[in-house]
Structure 1
Amino acid sequence: MEQEIEAAMPVQDTINDRPAHNLPPVGTQIRVFAPATVANVVCGFDVLGFAVNEPGDEVIMRVTETPGITISKITGDNGRLPLAPEKNTVSVSVQAYLESIGRTDIGLDIELHKKMPIGSGLGSSSASTVAGLFAIKNLMGDDTDVAKLLPFAMKGEEMACGHGHADNVAPALLGGFVLIRSYEPLDVIRLPHPKDLHCAIVFPDVDVPTREARQIIRTKINMKDAVTQWGNIAGLVSGLYTQDIDLIGRSMQDVLVEPVRSILIPDFYKMRELAMEAGAVSFGISGSGPSVFAFTRDEETAKRINQILQQHLTSLKINSYAYTSTINDAGPRVL
């Protein structure tokens, strides 16, 4: 059984412990893909997440003569994202990285191509940010641990939703299934998982803004609920390590966040019923929603669940998008 553990360095170490980097020649270009992610994984609010194979975002980055960052093009966003570099999560994160290595004298032009829905609960802003950071890391010939990009990616999350959490950016950057053990100092652990575990994802095309979805969460909980949640998180992590899919399934229950956020998702409990009847191991909300996901033992079951859920949403006159994937262990990649 494979067991991978990678700890991210504390924030202060990422900024000071970097070698000098030479500027790449003007005209040098790189194109990078970064994957969508499922955050929380039902019971692990803000501390668990995993990457999927699709959808994702692409960034094209070019070295220019004039120092500074410009964003020349954004596609796939229906005009919703800002071109101003001080307001875009990609450029803000890249700028923070460049400041940390003392190379703000570089000129960069960025194209962002959104290949996934915005506001889907699938880490849209995280995918864009990670693609940008992975691109600049490669352009600068930076061979340090990719985990050291995490603090810069979290700056993008803070801009996007008001909270610098890592349960989307960490799996998008590192790939695989990720646990954030601590935020202060930042400590991220990459978990093993059953290789045949499949994921069915359905995005109902309704608006659930991340900021608003966070604001409705209870800030105080009773001890009984906390104990239940701790047991489920521990059971899920144990199931991942022991490759026990049944344990994974029965541990994926949320008594804290799902009861509130499910109100924002059309027919959530009916969709869960349909998915479980069709052979799902578990079912829950992806991130802040409205996307939902189910773990299955095989690809055929995942595709069948997606079809059933989309048919149900169509009966409610709700458009939807569906994706089927294994857990993506690769993370971002140069195209």
Structure 2
Amino acid sequence: MIKIYAPASIGNLGVGFDILGAAITPIKNKNLGDIVTIKSSKTIKLTNTGKFSKELPTSIYDNLTWKAWKIFCKTIKKKKNVHIILEKNLPVSSGLGSSASSIVATLVALNIFFKKPLKKKKLIKLMGMLEKEISGEKHYDNVIPSYLGGIKLIISNKKNIYQNIPYFKNWFWIIAWPGVKLSTSISRSVLPNYYSKKDCIEHSKNLSCFIHALYTKQKNLAASCIQDIIAEPYRKQFLKNFDQHKKNIQKIGSIAYGISGSGPTIFSICDNEMTAEKVKKYFLENYIQTKQGFSYICQIDSIGVRKIGKKSYETI
């Protein structure tokens, strides 16, 4: 038996549409990611558990973990029957890399269970292919951070799929999911096919300045560059009182604010825990719309996917 945990992630980070992503973990010992257990079985079996398991497709053939098993077997050119148990801890269509977490945990668990027939680069490519089934395009900005941890710059060429990006370890990332769904396909459908020269220049300036600031350890400059020119102006219509929340948390002390992935989760960055607690409280009181909604203070997850042992997590 093998048991694997894959953390939640923030795609885009506001400034890096489709090319930046970060793995996150709550600061107070809370699983914010899916867990997949693989057991021996004479036939392929799938069991869904966890808080958000009822949101998953009822047919096994529509489940991402089954699709991950299918593509894994096809790649190694051998059918390997197993019992897959998915503990669904992330809400579907939340903007927290829910599908990526399930994909990463399943593929890594299968690969370990069968003595690692696939190398890291091949696993990453399979992860991207499975993400394509959801959004229509191959994306790595959630799967790679969830798999490898940290902040990743997605390059997607033949020799280099990603690069590691430095980050500020004392930044606190507050995420808030309102408790409602927003599909990736809907979020992408409102984006324009073409952007003005002015917007392209502004986006390039912000992204290059952000990367430069991370490498040169300029916190204030990095925070000021987290401006979303590409998606936020069009997607914020789906997020209740988005602009007003931005103004209010800036007054509290937030240094950056944006949409996590395609939404409806939003994120804020603070440079101290006291301010982060105040922002979290604000989100709980003003952004959460259902009983299922939540807000957590997180930091960047430097590890990524890991094996769950009898007493604790084990790095892979």
TM over 0.5, shorter chain: yes
CA separation of 1:92/1:147 partners in 2, compared to 1, >3 Å: closer, same or farther? same
What's 2:184 paired with? Answer: 210
Structure 2: distance between partners of 1:231 and 1:145: 36
Is 1:97 the counterpart of 2:83 in the alignment? no
One-letter amino acid matched to 2:47 = S
Report how far residue 277 of structure 1 moved. 1.4
C-alpha contact 1:74 1:113 (8 A) present in aligned 2? yes
SS in 2 for 1:207: coil
TM-score, normalised to structure 2's length? 0.89
Structure 2: distance between partners of 1:223 and 1:190: 29
Report how far residue 100 of structure 1 moved. 1.9
CA separation of 1:144/1:110 partners in 2, compared to 1, >3 Å: closer, same or farther? closer
What's 2:196 paired with? Answer: 222
SS in 1 for 2:38: strand
Equivalent residue in structure 2 for 1:194, among 161, 168, 179: 168
What's 1:11 paired with? Answer: none
Structure 1: distance between partners of 2:269 and 2:122: 30
C-alpha contact 1:90 1:156 (8 A) present in aligned 2? no
One-letter amino acid matched to 2:146 = A
Is 1:272 the counterpart of 2:272 in the alignment? no
C-alpha contact 1:153 1:169 (8 A) present in aligned 2? yes
SS in 2 for 1:235: helix
CA separation of 1:205/1:119 partners in 2, compared to 1, >3 Å: closer, same or farther? same
Is 1:325 the counterpart of 2:302 in the alignment? no
- Cα offsets for 1:233-287 (capped at 9, x unmatched): 1111112212221111111111221000011000111111122111112000000
- Cα offsets for 1:84-113 (capped at 9, x unmatched): 443222221232223222332x21111111
Equivalent residue in structure 1 for 2:4, among 32, 43, 57: 32
Q: Which segments of 5 or more consecutive residues in structure 2 lack a partner in the other structure? A: 27-31, 309-316
C-alpha contact 1:89 1:159 (8 A) present in aligned 2? no
Q: RMSD over aligned Cα, in angstroms?
A: 1.9
Is 1:82 the counterpart of 2:72 in the alignment? no
SS in 2 for 1:34: strand
SS in 1 for 2:112: helix
TM-score, normalised to structure 1's length? 0.85
One-letter amino acid matched to 1:82 = P
Report how far residue 181 of structure 1 moved. 1.6
One-letter amino acid matched to 2:33 = G
Is 1:57 the counterpart of 2:34 in the alignment? yes
C-alpha contact 1:89 1:125 (8 A) present in aligned 2? yes
Q: Percent identity?
A: 28
Q: Which segments of 5 or more consecutive residues in structure 1 lack a partner in the other structure? A: 1-28
Count of residues in Structure 1 that have an aligned counterpart in Structure 2: 302
Structure 1: distance between partners of 2:71 and 2:157: 19
Between 280-289 and 206-215, report the one with greater CA deviation: 206-215
Structure 1: distance between partners of 2:117 and 2:84: 22
SS in 1 for 2:278: helix
Structure 1: distance between partners of 2:88 and 2:284: 22
Alignment of 1:1-335 (within 5 A): 29-54=1-26, 55-66=32-43, 69-77=44-52, 79-82=54-57, 84-104=59-79, 106-142=80-116, 145-182=119-156, 187-313=161-287, 319=291, 320-335=293-308
Report how far residue 81 of structure 1 moved. 1.5
